[in-house]
Amino acid sequence: MSDSSALSPHARTAAISAMSGEGGEPELDVLVVGGGVVGVGTALDAVTRGLNTGLLEQRDLASGTSSRSSKLIHGGLRYLEMLDFGLVREALEERGLLLTRLAPHLVKPVAFLYPLTHRGWERPYVGAGLALYDAMAMAGKYDMGVPKHKHLFRRQVARIAPDLKTDAITGAIRYYDCQVDDARLVVTIARTAVEHGAHVANRVKVNGFLREGERVVGVRATDLETGRDFEVRARVVVNAAGVWTDEIQEMVGGRGALNVQASKGIHLVVPRDRIRSEVGFIHRTEKSVLFVIPWGRHWIIGTTDTAWDLDKAHPAASRADIDYLLDQVNTILREPLGHEDVEGVYAGLRPLLTGESEPTSKISREHTVVTPVPGLVMIAGGKLTTYRVMGKDAVDAAAHSLRTTVNLTLRDSITDRVPLVGADSYETRSNQRVLLSRRSGLHVARIDHLLNRYGGMVDDLLALIAERDELGEPLEGAEDYLAAEVVYAVTHEAARHLDDVLTRRTRISIETFDRGVAAAPAAARLMAEELGWDQARLDDEVDHYLRRVEAERLSQDQLTDQEADEARVKAPDIV
């Protein structure tokens, strides 16, 4: 098994021990605070440049914004219209790189229709925009990786998307972007960093900074699983805490160098059979852009864009948010969707760098790196697609501190040439899918499912199933997943709690009408075996998960953000 990249319980203990300097381990060059996509991207960039690197995450990897996005790897048509050409070009370049070189097992092309509703001017206007979008992608340093846009007439649209209302449209333009399971991308980047020698630990809270005069020289931290306090010394600390940036700035005691505003975006998940279409849609609303995105046996519908200043750990979707999305999507569908069609709802917060009085949907997603005090680098803003560029910029900013403290000359970033774990043998294993099916006894559709989640690491899962037959069975209560995936989440993917598995390592919490309630006991039993839980602990994990689901359902019945937040925070975190 791929143990050099495994985020196992033992690896976590060893990482904390190494970061705290036990056993004569050298001081870290770079410590990253925050285990979202920017944090893990920064850790991977640092370690592959030859720096001794650590990362601490207070909750679970990707537990904030990075598991609650639209799950798109895209240039951003909206930013093209805002004339933000630099951001779009950079994002399209990263899209091609991820799709063709870094993560072909995780990042997949997805087709969208852009419906046209005005005769005359609209087709050439939108067509020119999409032609520019494709041209930017083709002109980048990496392969475009997706087909070019194509103009369609009304009859062709009706054939491709029978449930799209065609009476109000003159035709459409089909174009391509890409999608990814965002939380899985984060765990995969973290595992790649670990494979190259980084130390990564989740469920560790940073309580404050260590200072020598003005300079930051490390952090004080608490292992939330054991309650143990420890210190981590580092030549540079990189804060990649996203919407928690202000809290970290307060710990330094200085003026806020970055002004980060949280913008809430909610998404609905509905079964695939509720909308008959081969492709997704993009639909302009008065306030923003609505995406209807194919997602396996489901559709993801989003998103909203509203300011949020309540609980950052658990942003809540209100009844008003859900009604808004249903109203918007129903303007383009023949058969309207209702609340009874909604399987899952999730809400996330975008960390936006604010202008003075811009509404949140007008603020661009450019990122900013600052060094407010010596030894501390802060990065915020940006988007999922450009995580690699953000990581590179953060480490470039750290270079100055490293030069002044240890006279270290930093090598250039190489992450554009470092495939993520699982990418290397993905193509080979995909060619062998029928053979793998015959050898393992799993249906070829199951092999495809595993290949698109683990890539070449499918070997690990199949080895587990060969050792323990019962792990080749579907997970009770969530038959799209295998029992082996729950065990593997614990042994290789840093899952510590039931919540981690049902909401992030799998997406059961948003892909089943019961939000994962039926799957919770079976998943907890599988985890208990690996983590040494007794019956009381197992029951507590299941009970906590059920209370979380209940609180979320209750929050989604409330009319206002304030009421939704009050309902959601009644179910506290397990640690």
pLDDT digits (tens, 9 = 90+) for 219-237: 999 999 999 999 999 999 9
The amino acid occupying position 160 is I
* pLDDT > 50? residue 1: no
Q: Specify whether the CB–CB gap between 181 and 71 falls below 8 A.
A: yes
* Helix/strand number for the chain, H first, E second: 20, 20
**In whole angstroms, what is the distance from residue 275 CA to residue 163 CA?**
6
* pLDDT > 70? residue 256: no
Mean pLDDT of the chain: 93
Q: Which position has the higher pLDDT, 81 or 72?
A: 72
Count of other CB atoms within 10 angstroms of residue 89? 18
Residue where the block lists tokens 């980060």: 260
Residue 470 is given by DSSP the state G
The amino acid occupying position 570 is K
CA–CA distances in Å: residue 28 to residues 52, 245, 330, 572: 5, 22, 53, 33
Q: Specify whether the CB–CB gap between 263 and 305 falls below 8 A.
A: yes
Q: Of 449, 427, 425, which is closest to residue 437 (Cα–Cα)? A: 449
**In whole angstroms, what is the distance from residue 289 CA to residue 177 CA?**
15
Residues in the chain: 575
pLDDT tens per residue across span 425-455: 999 999 999 999 999 999 999 999 999 999 9
* pLDDT > 80? residue 365: no
* pTM > 0.85: yes
Q: Specify whether the CB–CB gap between 51 and 29 falls below 8 A.
A: yes
The amino acid occupying position 403 is R
pLDDT value of position 206: 96
Least confident stretch, 105-119, 330-344, 394-408, 518-532? 394-408
* pLDDT > 90? residue 510: yes
* pLDDT > 70? residue 358: no
pLDDT tens per residue across span 60-74: 999 999 999 999 999
DSSP run (H or E) holding 415: none
pLDDT value of position 258: 80
pLDDT tens per residue across span 17-54: 999 998 778 899 999 999 999 999 999 999 999 999 99
pLDDT value of position 144: 86
Contacts with 229 (C-beta within 8 Å, 6 or more apart), sequence order: 207, 220, 221, 222, 223
Residue 513 is given by DSSP the state T
In a 10 Å sphere around its CB, with 0-12 CB exposed, 13-18 middle and 19+ buried, how is residue 251 labelled? middle
pLDDT value of position 255: 59
Contacts with 435 (C-beta within 8 Å, 6 or more apart), sequence order: none
pLDDT value of position 2: 52
Q: Would you call the peptide bond into 491 cis, given omega within 30 degrees of 0 as the criterion? A: no
74-80 — which CB contacts under 8 Å span 24+ positions? 74/177, 74/178, 74/385, 75/133, 75/136, 75/137, 75/177, 75/385, 76/365, 76/383, 76/385, 77/129, 77/130, 77/133, 77/282, 77/289, 78/288, 78/289, 79/364, 79/365, 80/129, 80/132, 80/133
Q: Of 263, 259, 230, 235, which is closest to residue 246 (Cα–Cα)? A: 259
pLDDT value of position 251: 83
Angle subtended at Cα 360 by Cα 359 and Cα 363, rounded to the nearest 5 degrees? 95
β-strands 171-179, 72-73 pairing? antiparallel
Q: Specify whether the CB–CB gap between 245 and 258 falls below 8 A.
A: yes
498-518 mean pLDDT: 98
Q: Specify whether the CB–CB gap between 230 and 16 falls below 8 A.
A: yes
Residue 152 is given by DSSP the state E
DSSP run (H or E) holding 210: strand 204-212
CA end-to-end distance (rounded Å), the chain:
30
DSSP run (H or E) holding 198: none
365-368 — which CB contacts under 8 Å span 24+ positions? 365/76, 365/79, 365/87, 366/84, 366/87, 367/38, 367/393, 368/258
pLDDT value of position 227: 97
Least confident stretch, 124-133, 348-357, 555-564? 348-357
**In whole angstroms, what is the distance from residue 119 CA to residue 124 CA?**
10
Q: Which two tokens stand for residue 152?
A: 């369609």
pLDDT value of position 94: 95
3-class DSSP assignment, residue 319? helix
